[in-house]
């Protein structure tokens, strides 16, 4: 018998798809990313209307120091915390719903949180920050839960329909919010929650975001269980993970982070969708490995978008939500099309 064989140019060694190193997070990746982030973060501190330079700070230019400590540093911290929080929230959500297009922006979570803030403002006044946050968390949870119930009812196979339903659901809640805000003459105030913007961040006005940071960190402790939940109910039960409990834990985590971000800086649309998707496409879905990378990438992404917003019409600012929205919509479209091509 004659053997039919195709020899390849690599000297007879079997050719493997992709290099074995692909998808590995190496220490130098994290270190490089970290250094880049620190450099950009440092640079961002000196971008703004008021003239603040490292030189001025060293020479104790008191006006510059004031701007630096009261505005620039808080703004940077807010950017980093919100960026990490929303990206990790999106990552967790995509695992517990087993759909990579479900995120706080595509499941009615942010819209529900805004409605909650409005309700709290109507009944408790605009100064009660903790009340606003608490009510926003409850609304975000309830809204997301409702969306998941709807999702379970509609058993369709197409992954892309879920976020569309979620966006519609969010739009319905958004219109309810707008209606009541209009009635109460709060439309202007509403805009501060629905459109994320870091320009109003000052010392004393962003500290709630540390809570989002803490919850993000907590998410890391659950990383393996979220990954197992992503494998589905049967695998979870087999591995001894209480599936429903871990899904609910994830939902609470997502609701808290989203509510805090909405209350303090406003909604940053699609952030929780694009960052986790970009990271998982390259690195896979093992949360223990990719959660820190997602957090770093999210922080970096928001930082860059915010700096772009500060520079593009200098000395005026474009809200970060607009920049992220424009970039995000493009990336989202690319992801959907990519997915179409892969499944087709």
Partner 1 sequence: MIQIDHVTKRYGETTVVDDVCLSIPKGGVTSIIGANGAGKSTLLSIVSRLLPSDSGSVTVDGLDVATTPSGKLARRLAVLRQENHMSVRLTVRELVAFGRFPHSGGRLTSHDLDLVDEAIGYFELTDLADRHLDQLSGGQRQRAYVAMVLCQDTDYVLLDEPLNNLDMRHSVQMMRRLRRMADEFAKTVVLVVHDINFASCHSDTIVAMKNGKVIAQGDTAAMMSPDVLREVYDLDIDVHDLSGHRIGVYFS
Contacts with partner 1, residue ranges (CB under 8 A) = 14, 16-18, 20, 22-24, 95, 98-100, 223-224, 227-228, 230-235, 237-242, 280, 284-286, 288
Phi and psi, residue 126, nearest 5°: -90, -5
Which residues neighbour 290 within 8 Å (Cβ) at sequence distance 6 or greater? Answer: 25, 91, 279, 280, 283, 284
Location of structure tokens 């980093």: 80
- The minimum distance between CB 334 and partner 1, in angstroms, equals 18
Range list of H helices, the chain: 27-44, 54-58, 62-67, 73-96, 109-124, 129-153, 161-183, 187-194, 209-221, 223-230, 233-238, 243-264, 271-283, 287-311, 320-343
Report the alpha-carbon distance of residue 96 to residue 93 in Å, rounded. 5
- The minimum distance between CB 298 and partner 1, in angstroms, equals 19
- The minimum distance between CB 231 and partner 1, in angstroms, equals 6
- The minimum distance between CB 17 and partner 1, in angstroms, equals 6
Please report how many Cα atoms fall inside a 13 Å half-sphere around the Cα of residue 152, on the Cβ side. 6
Angle between helices 243-264 and 73-96 (to 10 degrees): 150
Residue placing its CB nearer to partner 1 in the complex, 181 or 291 = 291
- The minimum distance between CB 243 and partner 1, in angstroms, equals 9
- The minimum distance between CB 240 and partner 1, in angstroms, equals 3
Residue placing its CB nearer to partner 1 in the complex, 126 or 343 = 343
Residue placing its CB nearer to partner 1 in the complex, 96 or 324 = 96
- The minimum distance between CB 224 and partner 1, in angstroms, equals 4
Report the alpha-carbon distance of residue 73 to residue 206 in Å, rounded. 11
Contact 116, 174 (CB under 8 A): no
Residue placing its CB nearer to partner 1 in the complex, 160 or 231 = 231
Residue placing its CB nearer to partner 1 in the complex, 16 or 313 = 16
End-to-end CA distance of the chain: 39
The alpha-carbon radius of gyration of the chain (Å, integer) is: 22
Q: CA–CA distance from 73 to each of 46, 196, 207 (Å)?
A: 10, 18, 12
Report the alpha-carbon distance of residue 252 to residue 1 in Å, rounded. 65
Which residues neighbour 62 within 8 Å (Cβ) at sequence distance 6 or greater? Answer: none
Residue placing its CB nearer to partner 1 in the complex, 199 or 227 = 227
Residue placing its CB nearer to partner 1 in the complex, 152 or 313 = 152
Residue placing its CB nearer to partner 1 in the complex, 100 or 310 = 100
Report the alpha-carbon distance of residue 141 to residue 109 in Å, rounded. 7
- The minimum distance between CB 157 and partner 1, in angstroms, equals 11
């Amino acid at each position: 018998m004659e053997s039919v064989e195709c020899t390849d140019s690599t000297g007879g060694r079997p050719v493997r798809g992709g290099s074995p190193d692909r998808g590995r997070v190496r220490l130098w990746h994290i270190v490089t990313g970290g250094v880049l982030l620190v450099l950009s973060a440092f640079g961002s501190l000196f971008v703004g209307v008021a003239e603040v330079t490292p030189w001025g700070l060293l020479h104790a230019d008191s006006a510059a120091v004031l701007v630096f400590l009261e505005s620039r540093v808080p703004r940077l911290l807010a950017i980093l915390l919100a960026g990490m929080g929303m990206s990790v929230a999106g990552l967790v959500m995509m695992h517990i719903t087993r759909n990579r297009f479900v995120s706080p922006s595509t499941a009615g979570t942010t819209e529900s949180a805004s409605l909650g803030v409005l309700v709290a403002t109507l009944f408790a006044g605009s100064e009660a920050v903790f009340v606003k946050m608490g009510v926003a968390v409850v609304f975000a949870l309830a809204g997301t839960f409702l969306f998941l119930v709807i999702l379970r009812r509609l058993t369709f196979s197409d992954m892309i329909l879920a976020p569309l339903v979620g966006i519609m659901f969010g739009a319905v809640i958004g219109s309810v919010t707008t209606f009541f805000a209009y009635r109460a003459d709060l439309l202007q105030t509403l805009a501060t929650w629905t459109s994320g913007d870091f320009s109003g961040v000052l010392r004393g006005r962003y500290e709630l975001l540390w809570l989002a940071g803490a919850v993000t960190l907590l998410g890391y402790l659950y990383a393996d269980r979220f990954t197992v939940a992503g494998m589905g109910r049967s695998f979870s039960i087999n591995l001894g993970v209480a599936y429903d409990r871990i899904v609910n834990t994830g939902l609470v985590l997502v609701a808290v982070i989203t509510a805090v971000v909405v209350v303090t800086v406003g909604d940053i649309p699609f952030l929780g969708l694009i960052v986790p998707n970009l990271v998982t496409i390259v690195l896979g879905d093992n949360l223990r490995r990719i959660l820190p990378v997602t957090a770093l990438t999210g922080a970096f992404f928001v930082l860059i978008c915010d700096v772009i917003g500060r520079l593009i019409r200098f000395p005026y600012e474009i809200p970060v939500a607009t920049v992220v929205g424009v970039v995000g919509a493009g990336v989202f479209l690319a992801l959907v099309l990519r997915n179409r091509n892969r499944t087709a």
